[in-house]
Structure 1
């Protein structure tokens, strides 16, 4: 049987890397003919999420026979990276240009592969690499690590750029976007949609590039976003392959938390009633100002609900693209006496393995930033959400969860961490009570819908499920 090589080019954000590496493993498990090469670019900021990606990558080592068929190549620094001054205009523009500066290195790495390359699988930020595939005669596919809702919003941004050429303005009325059943508030669009310094045009260009690919692989499942997926099946958009949920349930490709803290948390959760604890966690980049931390603490204490809160320290202002860290002493940022007052019902901790916590029987709700990996983990474990987006595409994810799918209670779907807006203790208490109270009709509806979609998410990936079939269609296309 002739070997077929796939080359994956992920971007270096934590969420993108986790999904890509897991998808590579699943791909090779599905068909023995494929081998895979992962080209890892340097992260332009520190610390770098790519430092832990080894050859073979860690998450495959204990769980997959495909390990020996994965090769990881760490590419050197690009020869001509963009100026850091562009960062002051737009992160999206800078990062897109940074990845584009890797074109020659990626082309050389692919050219050195001795066996036939049947597909180049690119992260959404790597769409400029389609040019490399075209030069080498290799079909390119986009691996879209977020949901179909964000994909639809990107195509809408591309349409506006092509027709008007001007970014959105927050004073505009709600948008009628063909990929959503409900009008979309301006504040639910990603921040780059309003960025005239290059963010809007850069992301519009990515969406335009998507249309030049052989197909778009989306980490969702048909039953989760049926309206959007149906709307995406229009002329000019390549075939959509839904392969999700792609999840790193073993959490072996995540940062390692404090093991003593993890053990203490497990023991504490074991002693809580089923579905009684609300979990607050905001992803690898989630953090709050001291003033917002105070409001969260007051809201939790007033709610009377049992809680587990993963609280991280923001990076210094001059290093805002670095990852948050754990506090040396949580009492430095929490209200005086808070931990003592809530010790019977609540715990505040640093970094934890989110997926492990969500799997625990004691967890009954999740206050989340709505990063797509977190959304899928919550769905998989049937944990209903409070939507509190922070950055990137999380506002549109929150809109999808609250308005389109009714899988989440709204905290504030147009919140973003640099807006200067303070979510009050009263708002936080209200949202958590709504989600967790047995007698709240709105919360009960969210909990009921989450249980239903969780069952569908697990059925989607088993033999005969919607994602299983779509995955096979993708394999057949690549081998045709």
Structure 2
């Protein structure tokens, strides 16, 4: 059988890599004619990528998903800089070009034919490489559809109406966006669009996406959880980059104790000077004694909705403030703790008080059977129906595969 070969280019970082590989699994499981090569870029400080990809080598999908690890690139750009990821991706382009050229030459064989690129939303400059080879590009958008609408609308505001997006920084105004029913407060715009050094590339990604072919959008702990009454545990987790200093940890601990609810807390130390972005566990975790709160990263949000768990929103960085607004105001699936909290690109919010944290937890936990939980259960049911045969997600995946295979015409 001749396989239609796709080149997947995830953005560096586990959050983007994992979701893209799950997409690759869906594609090859759906159609035996597809095979996928994943080009793995590595951050200077990322130590988990190799072990993760190696763990997949023994899976049933290994024969049709292969990983090519690109050389780890050192960079002098500060990690806190708004263009750090951009620099890492650009430094990997020569490696990507070389490997894909080899794939294109070998695609003349009877077993594989290069059919296109599937690019992470931050890898849109790779479209040029696909164009050189005469194959189409698709963008795998790892954030919400509403956020895609935000990106495209902000790009139009600047390009067609000459609006300086960064002027919304510290603004109390509310903005109308096509992807939302409610006005969006400027305070929940992503930090990336409010900083001049970062907004240029953000809007360039939006421009480039318009030119693509399409946009695709521990055991002991589990044993303890199984012993708890239904909907009684508050879970706090702030993602792979979520950490707090000692002052903020004390406020969280105080709020959890005063709330009186059982909790499970993923507690991480912030990186120390010279440690780049490594996060470590606190040595003394005795403060971690009970609740559930989310940083509103999109992977975590989808997981919460899938399992029908309401959230208390405490965003930290990237587009998470925007996600929090969507969950709290637009969809009514979450309670607010601090929707405009920021700690990226040099911005640092004040410590969130125990009173604010406790209020969010109580609103979430003491509303059992109420409107918020009802809406989350409905959203969970809809998300599961979307994946079954005939569901919207299942049908869209089929249309994507047919579009890819039709590129042979």
Give the equivalent residue in structure 2 for 1:128.
Answer: 125
Alpha-carbon offset, residue 66 of structure 1: 2.5
Alpha-carbon offset, residue 384 of structure 1: 0.7
Residues 53-92 of structure 1: pairs in structure 2 closer than 5 A: 53-54=52-53, 58-59=55-56, 61-62=58-59, 65-77=60-72, 83-84=76-77, 90-91=81-82
Give the equivalent residue in structure 1 for 2:281.
Answer: 326
Alpha-carbon offset, residue 59 of structure 1: 4.4
Give the equivalent residue in structure 2 for 1:428.
Answer: 357
CA distance in 1, matches of 2:264, 2:51: 28
The RMSD of aligned alpha carbons is 2.0
Structure 2 counterpart of 1:285, from 225, 230, 241: 241
Give the equivalent residue in structure 1 for 2:190.
Answer: 190
Give the equivalent residue in structure 1 for 2:376.
Answer: 450
Q: Is the 8 A contact 1:6 1:35 kept in 2?
A: yes
**Number of equivalenced pairs:** 393
Q: Deviations over 1:83-126 (max 9, x none)?
A: 415x56x33x2311321232222121111111221110000110
Alpha-carbon offset, residue 455 of structure 1: 0.7
Give the equivalent residue in structure 1 for 2:97.
Answer: 107
Q: Is the 8 A contact 1:157 1:200 kept in 2?
A: no
Give the equivalent residue in structure 1 for 2:257.
Answer: 301
Q: Deviations over 1:244-290 (max 9, x none)?
A: xxxxxxxxxxxxxxxxxx34323322321111111111111111111
Q: Is the 8 A contact 2:169 2:187 kept in 1?
A: no
CA distance in 2, matches of 1:203, 1:82: 20
Q: Is the 8 A contact 1:170 1:194 kept in 2?
A: no
169-178 or 306-315: which moved more? 169-178
Q: Is the 8 A contact 1:142 1:215 kept in 2?
A: yes
Alpha-carbon offset, residue 157 of structure 1: 2.6
CA distance in 1, matches of 2:156, 2:29: 38
CA distance in 1, matches of 2:237, 2:301: 12
Q: Secondary structure at the match of 1:463?
A: coil
Give the equivalent residue in structure 2 for 1:265.
Answer: 221
Runs of 4+ in 1 over 4 A off after TM superposition: none
Give the equivalent residue in structure 2 for 1:52.
Answer: 51
Q: Is the 8 A contact 1:36 1:69 kept in 2?
A: yes
Query: Structure 1, unaligned stretches of length 5 or more?
Result: 219-261, 340-345, 348-364
Q: Secondary structure at the match of 1:389?
A: coil
CA distance in 2, matches of 1:397, 1:409: 12
Does residue 376 (structure 1) correspond to residue 376 (structure 2)? The answer is: no
Q: Deviations over 1:196-232 (max 9, x none)?
A: 1x211110011111011100001xxxxxxxxxxxxxx
Query: Structure 2, unaligned stretches of length 5 or more?
Result: 108-112
Alpha-carbon offset, residue 77 of structure 1: 4.1
Give TM-score, length-normalised by structure 1: 0.78
Give the equivalent residue in structure 2 for 1:243.
Answer: none
CA distance in 2, matches of 1:94, 1:269: 39
Alpha-carbon offset, residue 49 of structure 1: 3.9
Q: Is the 8 A contact 1:12 1:49 kept in 2?
A: no
Does residue 212 (structure 1) correspond to residue 207 (structure 2)? The answer is: no
Q: Is the 8 A contact 1:22 1:59 kept in 2?
A: no
Give TM-score, length-normalised by structure 2: 0.91
Does residue 401 (structure 1) correspond to residue 315 (structure 2)? The answer is: no
Residues 220-231 of structure 1: pairs in structure 2 closer than 5 A: none
Alpha-carbon offset, residue 170 of structure 1: 2.1
Q: Is the 8 A contact 1:25 1:67 kept in 2?
A: no
